[in-house]
Amino acid sequence: MTLRERRFPNGLTLLLEPDEAAQTVAAGYFVATGAREERPGELGASHFLEHLMFKGSESVPSAELNARLDDLGGHANAFTGEEATVYHAATLPEQGGELLETLTELLRPALRPADIEAERGVILEEIAMYAEQPAVRVADELRASYWGEHGLGHSILGTPQTVGGLTREVLARNWQERYGAGRVTLTVVGAFDPDAVEAWAARELTGWPAGLPAPAPAPAVPRHPGTFRFLRDEGLSRVQAALALPGLSARHPLREAATVLAELIGGENGDLYWALLDTGLADSADLGHLDYTDVGTFEGGFSCDPERFVEVQAAYLDVLRSAGDRLTPERVRRAARKLAVSTLLRAETPGGRLFALGMDALTMGEALTTEEQVARFERVSLEAVRAVLDLCPLEGATGVGMGGVVQ
């Protein structure tokens, strides 16, 4: 497989990775915009626009557009993150042309007032649904505590008040400002002819307006005061807790080492498993590393009986503080190998490979082959993981808990 990258004069980037052995083709538009960029009074606009893309263009009504997506036979969907919004689908090789044409039509929304009002109700129901899930609620509260008023501290869905106030004019402005070609990367992986796709893109996509350049992101400075906030909810039979500490950005040279450290602590058979799950103190406990273009966090949490909350919280924090004591070359090598193998397994299908390629291009600013991604994990050493701990000591966590009376 040969990775091909081309940037057109309007700024749109084309990433092609053909695979003669593949039996499907996957494509996705990766747009460098997300909830982090929203104005305070327009929270949820990015996610709202994602929904509206499926309501049809000026020339293709909603029913026809979605029928075309269904006809592809593969999985078509989209998601909104803090820094990226992605539209993706997969199909058989002989339908590759229809795949590209349909995805492209998807990103030309009509933004009809009737569709906006109908979808507003859908999103408000979605917000209400997630508000009933303790793990989601506590994660949202944690990020609000950790990041404060910064964009990373806001819910991607927005609030009932902000979503209720998003007008067609506001949504159209957000689309015009943030969906210019300079922010768009079309990624295609699997069984296709790269010359034909490149010729199609040169013919069909070079007229896409360049749009405004992405603004410099507001500096993300976490508050992380090392305090724990508890929210009483007598309707919950379990305590749900979430914690965050400073991590490393997606473009930091120790990014993979930070991911390995999180795997050692919070992954399957990690330190938290043996300290909290194997002992029966908690029913869940984890830790992961989240990275953005300029900043990162270690985030995790646990769930337990209310009467064990104090003991579990203390044990969780002790595992973080003492993580360096349990590091050995063998443990680091095993964790790095597990992440390398997971990378290879995802890359075995065009749909899995699509996300690794497209998201790396957006967050890291470079497109990596699978071999390069695997090699980065294989190079992680004990010294590199210790260097992460020197930069990120895993002490002074910001935390939020939610549940009934604790003892």
Q: In angstroms, rounded to a whole number, what is the distance separating the alpha carbons of residues 387 and 377? A: 15
Q: In angstroms, rounded to a whole number, what is the distance separating the alpha carbons of residues 407 and 399? A: 18
Distances (CA, A) of 254 to 265, 296, 339, 386, 395: 17, 11, 15, 10, 19
Predicted local distance difference test score (pLDDT) of residue 407:
58
Task: Quick: pLDDT tens for 188-202.
Answer: 999 999 999 999 999
Task: Quick: pLDDT tens for 164-185.
Answer: 999 999 999 999 999 999 999 9
Task: Record the tokens describing residue 208, joined without a space.
Answer: 């896409």
Q: Model confidence at 241, in pLDDT bands (50, 70, 90)?
A: very high
Q: In angstroms, rounded to a whole number, what is the distance separating the alpha carbons of residues 370 and 205? A: 27
C-alpha closest to that of 371 among 86, 98, 17: 17
Q: In angstroms, rounded to a whole number, what is the distance separating the alpha carbons of residues 48 and 106? A: 14
Task: Record the tokens describing residue 27, joined without a space.
Answer: 């494509």
The rounded mean pLDDT for the chain is: 95
Whether residue 296 contacts residue 246, with contact meaning beta carbons closer than 8 Å, is answered with: yes
Predicted local distance difference test score (pLDDT) of residue 377:
98
Go through the domains of the chain in sequence order and give each one's CATH number: 4-204 (3.30.830.10), 228-403 (3.30.830.10)
Give the side-chain half-sphere CA count within 13 A for 178. 26
Distances (CA, A) of 346 to 22, 340, 357, 373, 376: 13, 10, 11, 12, 16
Whether residue 247 contacts residue 392, with contact meaning beta carbons closer than 8 Å, is answered with: yes
Q: Is the pLDDT of residue 227 over 90?
A: no
- Looking at the chain, the whole-number percentage of residues with pLDDT higher than 90 is 92
The average pLDDT across 129-141 equals: 94
Whether residue 260 contacts residue 332, with contact meaning beta carbons closer than 8 Å, is answered with: yes
Write the DSSP string, 279-294.
TTS-SEEEEEEEE-SS
Q: In angstroms, rounded to a whole number, what is the distance separating the alpha carbons of residues 324 and 394? A: 10
Give the burial class of 402: count Cβ atoms within 10 A of its Cβ; 0-12 exposed, 13-18 middle, 19 or more buried.
buried
Q: In angstroms, rounded to a whole number, what is the distance separating the alpha carbons of residues 346 and 360? A: 14
Q: In angstroms, rounded to a whole number, what is the distance separating the alpha carbons of residues 34 and 86? A: 10
Distances (CA, A) of 297 to 291, 331, 376, 383, 395: 6, 22, 20, 20, 13
Whether residue 367 contacts residue 5, with contact meaning beta carbons closer than 8 Å, is answered with: yes
Whether residue 370 contacts residue 198, with contact meaning beta carbons closer than 8 Å, is answered with: no
Task: Quick: pLDDT tens for 300-355.
Answer: 999 999 999 999 999 999 999 999 999 999 999 999 999 999 999 999 999 999 99
Predicted local distance difference test score (pLDDT) of residue 217:
85
C-alpha closest to that of 354 among 367, 371, 372, 339: 367
Task: Quick: pLDDT tens for 105-134.
Answer: 999 999 999 999 999 999 999 999 999 999
List all residues 6 or more positions away from 340 whose beta carbon is below 8 Å from its beta carbon. Answer: 374, 377, 378
- Looking at the chain, the whole-number percentage of residues with pLDDT higher than 70 is 99
Predicted local distance difference test score (pLDDT) of residue 399:
97
pTM of the model: 0.95
Antiparallel, parallel or unpaired: β 13-18 and 4-7: antiparallel
Where does 235-361 show beta strands of DSSP type E?
Answer: 239-246, 284-291, 296-304
C-alpha closest to that of 230 among 220, 221, 242: 242
Write the DSSP string, 83-118.
S-EEEEEEE-GGGHHHHHHHHHHHTSB---HHHHHH
C-alpha closest to that of 92 among 192, 15, 174, 25: 25
